[in-house]
Structure 1
Amino acid sequence: MSQSAPQPPQPGPVDGNPYAQQAPAGAPDAPGAPAPGAPYAPQPGAFAPPAPPAPGRDNLVLGLVAAVAGTLVAAALYGVVIGLTEHEIGWAAIGVGYVIGAAAGKIGGRNPAIAIVSAVLALGAVYLGQLVGDAMMIADHFHLNFSEVFFDHFDGVQELWKKDADPLTFAFFGIAAFAAFSGARKAAA
C-alpha cells in the first residue's frame, strides 16, 4: 500500500507563456504577488515605470506675467552689469533674453504668442538695462544718488543713451530678442 501524497497543481501557461505564473487564488492583489502576466513578484527596491509625460501647459496669461517679471529682473541685472563694468557685454544680453524666454515658456507653455512677446519684451529689457547702466555711470561720475539721476533726470539719461548708441548697441537688441524667442520655444517643449 504505497500511497503517495498528492502533488500540488503546477501552474499552467498564462496567455501562451509557459514561464508566467498565475496569481494566487483568492488574493490576486496581495502585496508581493506578481502582476498578471508577470513571471515574478517585484523585487524590493525596484523602480516603478516612468510616468507618462505631463500634458502641455498652455496658459497665455501666466506666461505673459512671467515674461514681464523676467523682463524687470533681467533689465535691472543687465543695468547693474553695465554700470559696474562700464561696458555692454554680449553674454549678458543673451542672458537677458534667455531669462525672459525661459520663464515665459516654462510657465506659459507652447502658445506661439509667448515666444513672440518674449522677444519684444527682451528688446525693452535691453533698452531699460542700458538706461540703468548709463544712470549708474552718471551717478558715480557726479557723486549723486542713482534714483535721483534715473527718476529726476530720465530725459537726460535718454539723451546720453542716444548720443552713445552705436551699431553694437543695436546688435545686443537682436541678440537678446533671438535668445528670448529660442529660450521660450525650448522651455515650452
Structure 2
Amino acid sequence: MTVTKEPRLGEPPPADTVVRAERLDGPDFDAIYHAHFRSLTVQLTAYCGDLSQAQDLVQEAFCRAFARWSRVSRYDDPVAWVRRVAWNLATSRWRRLRTARSWLSRQREETVPGPGPDRVALTAALALLPLQHRRAVVLYHLADMSVSEIARQEGVAEGTVKSWLHRGRAALATHLTTTKEVNDNE
C-alpha cells in the first residue's frame, strides 16, 4: 500500500491523502477486465450469434470472477476461468431456452382451419335424418362397415339396414341439393 503522507501512529490520514491499493497476490481485476472483455465478447458472439447476449454473458462471467477474485487471481490463467464460465453460461442459457420452447409448444393450442362449406352442409343434412338412417349412413360410408356388420351391431336384419341406407341417401340427396341451390342463388 502506498500513501503520499504517512500519518502518525493512531491518527487518521488527512482528507486529501490518496491511497492506492496494489495487489501483490495476483493480476489486477480491472486490467484483466479491460484487456479481455472485448475478445471474450467476440468469441461468445460467434458462439451464440447475438452481440448483446454475448456481452451479457461475458459481463456475468466477470461478475462471478470478481466475487471470487481472491481465489481466481491465483490461477495460472484467470482469463481461461472467465472464458469457461461465460461459455457455460451460454450453454445453460441455450438449454433453458430449448426447454422453455418445448414446454410452450406443448401448452399452445394449435389452430386448425374451420370446416369447409361442404362439410358444414353435410353435417347439417345428417342432423336432419332420423337416428337409424343417420347411424347406418355414417357406419357404412365413414366407418367402412359392411351391411352385415351394421346389421349385427344394430341387431336387425340386413334388409332393414339396406332400407335405412336407401332412405338415408335419398334424404341426404334432397337436403344437399336444396342446400346447394340456396348457396348458388346467393
Give the TM-score, by structure 2 length: 0.32
More helix by proportion, 1 or 2?
2
Q: Which is greater in Rg? A: 2
Give the TM-score, by structure 1 length: 0.31
* Greater relative CO, 1 or 2 (CA 8 Å, sep 6+): 1
